[in-house]
Chains A and B, each alone.
Chain A
């Protein structure tokens, strides 16, 4: 059944999205403000489950591409969120019928809400990855052979571009360069797909899951029960570690901010987190790998369960680290090639949230 996303749902949704952002995905606060502003101006948004989608619907994803640090300074506008959608409509020759989130982690889960409200379109209760990843092509539709292009991008000054590329990695490369030139924060619209394709390639019910997660953490705090345990339950994950951040090292090696955080817990136990925007690998003191991308490695504030971003990691924070399963399709050979530890430069096999090693042969690509 379709349901309605109102003004008061946004803070829970944004909190859930920040958790699913696994340390990256950008400041959900700005996205939440934009979504609230759009709902105030245009009314609530209808969220539609994948199962209710007509085969011939025309679905597009909407989001932001660039540096989250820029977005907290040069705030996006609703006009710039809509501009690439209008360009896509013109390019495709017919208007989109539904908006979808490319990722449910971080700011790109709330910007599509703003887009759907401002456009007066329904929003799919689904997303392209079930978490956050740093590059445009890193979505399940890519695995299903859906083209990111034509992809439209726009800045707040009114500049709009549409690219047609040979594959989704090229879309990322070309749009990234343009985004830098346009001030490092652009709005994009792409991955046009039919309803049938959306049902096959997207992660279902992810908005509900995000809302449930954010609300669950808030409610646990009110009930004086443990918010982190609640999050673990909702995510069907496991708590890897509880402790204190005792060291954070950061370096810009490949244009991305990479880093390592060391945590110590009771009885001198240690945990090491390796991150690049998102958390990628969690290993124990003996360097035993406990969990890796593409499963979710999430850092929450010890008592409040408030998500901690990789940029916000600080010496002295008391946190708990949880691992949770990602969509199984990410553990296919093609999925691991795109977002596994190897892609990010780590020569370790992918490990599931429960510590199992996957060789990429087990899962199937389709849902």
Chain B
């Protein structure tokens, strides 16, 4: 058995799973200290279905905690950004395009040093250990506790990042000052500023990550659970405790990912569109082979451009709390949000919401049905038709081919959707749809990704691709995947113009089942 938990802003959902079977599922309010809510959720699970601590093989958690910490600019460690690339890149130093208040919140300091590689792996300039030691001493003197190191073209060759990390670590070790180090090649893709930004964000969250992991572990141990704890990442794969301590940034978009993955496992569909309807928005994503399709370009997080892995999600302003215009029958984007239980008509309030429409249409039995009896059935139908039309349009925008694609609806607000969607036909509504995100968190898979520029000799293209794919497979196994279960789930090859030697950017993702008993 294993436990899946999704800690959202409002609710903490938890499920007890036996393989892909849901034994128990609960919804609980999220508590300010997070771990209390988790402890309570686990206790509620035990009430529904008895288990002993040793029976639990793993606990998988999805959390919005780290991204909230960044957005609120709270509990961020004093961070230094060290870039290797001089004399190149000097005019655009690290954090050049950051909002000033976040730079302040990080007590950030930026440093430029020699190093870096050309696109083909030749050095731009050699590393200067004395220069790096001077920078490290300056960091130490300014109370820096976490360092983000980026080097030009480190996705091609990351040796210098590793060497610089050792020098910085040695300087801090001279007087025993603790320091956490984040390396850009392990976090982002090609695009120095975006990769560096993601690395600095990661560095700023390192201390918090340690505290959170300690808290989560303590919460599980207090329940007699000795099994390892995993957190889910943006791409739907899991990371272990140590990985979270080092790479908290990888949890950022795990919320929508967990919903989508949960929709896949509960519906039995691995390639489908998922509509997750909450209180304020409906989020539409696409699952391909069981994994969310990712955004192609940059993603802004708290006003910062980054290029790490995020699911491609389209949000439209339709949810259970959406306001309904009594004249036009138009829905949203305004919403009563968490005040639904006091403001909606069915709860004795005075605001016409989408939930009222669902109750009036007999799709849901919530609150006092008599309070919506006066609504004109023709009007109710118009509102529902409008919702269906807009959701269908959003799904159509997300799908990648004109071929028919099944649609799966999850989330508490999915009662707003009809059984048939224009263009798409039947809407699949899996059991346990309201805790699909916790189920998604519980799916035990791990992955490895490679993104690099390689020179492809025309006669050796197949061989080169095979080598890069093998690297991704090995990375997944190193991350804890069972070797016989690892498969390539994504491969992308883009030839790069103006570079000699048929330079090609290759991106490969391998994923496999978590080796549950090995840890």
Per-residue A-contact encoding for B206-242, CB less than 8 Å = 1, 0 else: 0000000000000000000000000000000000000
Say whether A74 faces chain B, with CB atoms less than 8 Å apart.
yes
Selecting from B29-37, B67-75, B394-402, B432-440, the interface stretch reads B394-402
When distances are taken between beta carbons in the complex, the residues of chain B under 8 Å from A77 are 87-91
Q: Would you give the shortest CB distance from A254 to chain B, in whole angstroms?
A: 11
Say whether B129 faces chain A, with CB atoms less than 8 Å apart.
no
Q: Quick one: which of A69, A72, A78, A250 has the most chain B CB within 10 A?
A: A69
- Assembled-state Cα–Cα distance A37/B89 (Å): 12
Identify which of A67, A74, A246 contacts B192 (C-beta below 8 A). Answer: A74
With A70-B119, A77-B88, A157-B87 in contact, is A184–B498 under 8 Å at CB? yes
With A67-B496, A72-B191, A252-B502 in contact, is A312–B91 under 8 Å at CB? no
Say whether B504 faces chain A, with CB atoms less than 8 Å apart.
yes
Say whether A327 faces chain B, with CB atoms less than 8 Å apart.
no
When distances are taken between beta carbons in the complex, the residues of chain A under 8 Å from B493 are 250
Identify which of B124, B401, B497 contacts A257 (C-beta below 8 A). Answer: B497
Say whether A311 faces chain B, with CB atoms less than 8 Å apart.
yes
Q: Which secondary structure dominates where chain B touches chain A? A: loop
Interface residues contributed by chain B, number (CB under 8 Å) = 43
- Assembled-state Cα–Cα distance A33/B397 (Å): 32
- Assembled-state Cα–Cα distance A259/B190 (Å): 22
When distances are taken between beta carbons in the complex, the residues of chain A under 8 Å from B400 are 315-316
- Assembled-state Cα–Cα distance A252/B153 (Å): 22
When distances are taken between beta carbons in the complex, the residues of chain A under 8 Å from B85 are 74-75
Say whether A285 faces chain B, with CB atoms less than 8 Å apart.
no
Say whether B378 faces chain A, with CB atoms less than 8 Å apart.
no
The answer to whether B500 and A37 touch across the interface, beta carbons within 8 angstroms, is no
Of chain B, the residue at the smallest CB distance from A276 is B497
Say whether B333 faces chain A, with CB atoms less than 8 Å apart.
no
The answer to whether A312 and B496 touch across the interface, beta carbons within 8 angstroms, is no
Say whether A277 faces chain B, with CB atoms less than 8 Å apart.
yes
Say whether A79 faces chain B, with CB atoms less than 8 Å apart.
yes
Say whether A183 faces chain B, with CB atoms less than 8 Å apart.
yes
With A37-B91, A183-B119 in contact, is A73–B153 under 8 Å at CB? yes
The answer to whether A69 and B116 touch across the interface, beta carbons within 8 angstroms, is no
Say whether A93 faces chain B, with CB atoms less than 8 Å apart.
no
The answer to whether B495 and A33 touch across the interface, beta carbons within 8 angstroms, is no
Say whether A307 faces chain B, with CB atoms less than 8 Å apart.
no
The answer to whether A264 and B402 touch across the interface, beta carbons within 8 angstroms, is yes
The answer to whether A246 and B119 touch across the interface, beta carbons within 8 angstroms, is no
Q: Using a CB-CB cutoff of 8 Å, which residues 173-187 of chain A contact chain B?
A: 180, 183-184
Say whether B271 faces chain A, with CB atoms less than 8 Å apart.
no
- Assembled-state Cα–Cα distance A244/B401 (Å): 9
Say whether A106 faces chain B, with CB atoms less than 8 Å apart.
no
Identify which of A78, A257, A312 contacts B495 (C-beta below 8 A). Answer: A257
- Assembled-state Cα–Cα distance A30/B504 (Å): 22
The answer to whether A312 and B89 touch across the interface, beta carbons within 8 angstroms, is no
The answer to whether B297 and A74 touch across the interface, beta carbons within 8 angstroms, is no
The answer to whether A37 and B96 touch across the interface, beta carbons within 8 angstroms, is yes
Say whether B92 faces chain A, with CB atoms less than 8 Å apart.
yes
Say whether B110 faces chain A, with CB atoms less than 8 Å apart.
no
When distances are taken between beta carbons in the complex, the residues of chain A under 8 Å from B505 are 69
Say whether A76 faces chain B, with CB atoms less than 8 Å apart.
yes
Q: Would you give the shortest CB distance from B340 to chain A, in whole angstroms?
A: 28
With A246-B402, A312-B297 in contact, is A67–B87 under 8 Å at CB? no
Say whether A297 faces chain B, with CB atoms less than 8 Å apart.
no
The answer to whether B124 and A74 touch across the interface, beta carbons within 8 angstroms, is yes
The answer to whether B91 and A70 touch across the interface, beta carbons within 8 angstroms, is no
- Assembled-state Cα–Cα distance A82/B464 (Å): 40
- Assembled-state Cα–Cα distance A75/B192 (Å): 8
- Assembled-state Cα–Cα distance A261/B82 (Å): 40
When distances are taken between beta carbons in the complex, the residues of chain B under 8 Å from A183 are 118-119, 122, 124
When distances are taken between beta carbons in the complex, the residues of chain A under 8 Å from B124 are 74, 156-157, 183
Say whether B302 faces chain A, with CB atoms less than 8 Å apart.
no
Per-residue A-contact encoding for B398-423, CB less than 8 Å = 1, 0 else: 11111000000000000000000000
The answer to whether B499 and A314 touch across the interface, beta carbons within 8 angstroms, is no
Say whether A251 faces chain B, with CB atoms less than 8 Å apart.
yes
Q: Using a CB-CB cutoff of 8 Å, which residues 121-153 of chain A contact chain B?
A: 134
Q: Would you give the shortest CB distance from B396 to chain A, in whole angstroms?
A: 9
With A74-B85, A74-B118, A315-B401 in contact, is A69–B496 under 8 Å at CB? yes
When distances are taken between beta carbons in the complex, the residues of chain A under 8 Å from B504 are 252
Q: Using a CB-CB cutoff of 8 Å, which residues 36-54 of chain A contact chain B?
A: 37-38
The answer to whether B91 and A252 touch across the interface, beta carbons within 8 angstroms, is no
- Assembled-state Cα–Cα distance A43/B51 (Å): 69
When distances are taken between beta carbons in the complex, the residues of chain A under 8 Å from B399 are 316
When distances are taken between beta carbons in the complex, the residues of chain B under 8 Å from A264 are 402
The answer to whether A66 and B88 touch across the interface, beta carbons within 8 angstroms, is no
The answer to whether B499 and A67 touch across the interface, beta carbons within 8 angstroms, is yes
Q: Quick one: which of A68, A79, A183 has the most chain B CB within 10 A?
A: A183
Say whether A345 faces chain B, with CB atoms less than 8 Å apart.
no
Q: Would you give the shortest CB distance from B22 to chain A, in whole angstroms?
A: 32
When distances are taken between beta carbons in the complex, the residues of chain A under 8 Å from B118 are 74, 183-184
The answer to whether B401 and A246 touch across the interface, beta carbons within 8 angstroms, is yes
Q: Would you give the shortest CB distance from B379 to chain A, in whole angstroms?
A: 26
When distances are taken between beta carbons in the complex, the residues of chain B under 8 Å from A184 are 118-119, 498-500
Q: Using a CB-CB cutoff of 8 Å, which residues 224-277 of chain A contact chain B?
A: 244, 246, 250-252, 255-257, 264, 276-277
Q: Quick one: which of B402, B496, B502 has the most chain A CB within 10 A?
A: B496
Say whether A158 faces chain B, with CB atoms less than 8 Å apart.
yes
- Assembled-state Cα–Cα distance A74/B152 (Å): 6
Say whether B341 faces chain A, with CB atoms less than 8 Å apart.
no
When distances are taken between beta carbons in the complex, the residues of chain A under 8 Å from B116 are 74
Of chain B, the residue at the smallest CB distance from A118 is B91
Of chain A, the residue at the smallest CB distance from B493 is A250
- Assembled-state Cα–Cα distance A250/B492 (Å): 11
Extra contacts besides A67-B119, A79-B90, A246-B401 (12): CB < 8 Å: A34-B92, A73-B152, A75-B91, A75-B192, A76-B91, A156-B89, A255-B500, A256-B498, A257-B496, A311-B494, A316-B398, A316-B399
Residues of B within 8 A of A (CB): 85, 87-92, 96-97, 116, 118-119, 122, 124-125, 152-153, 190-193, 296-297, 305, 397-402, 453, 456, 493-500, 502, 504-505
15 contacts between A and B (CB under 8 A): A69-B505, A72-B190, A72-B192, A72-B193, A73-B190, A75-B91, A78-B91, A157-B124, A244-B402, A246-B402, A252-B495, A252-B504, A311-B494, A315-B400, A316-B398
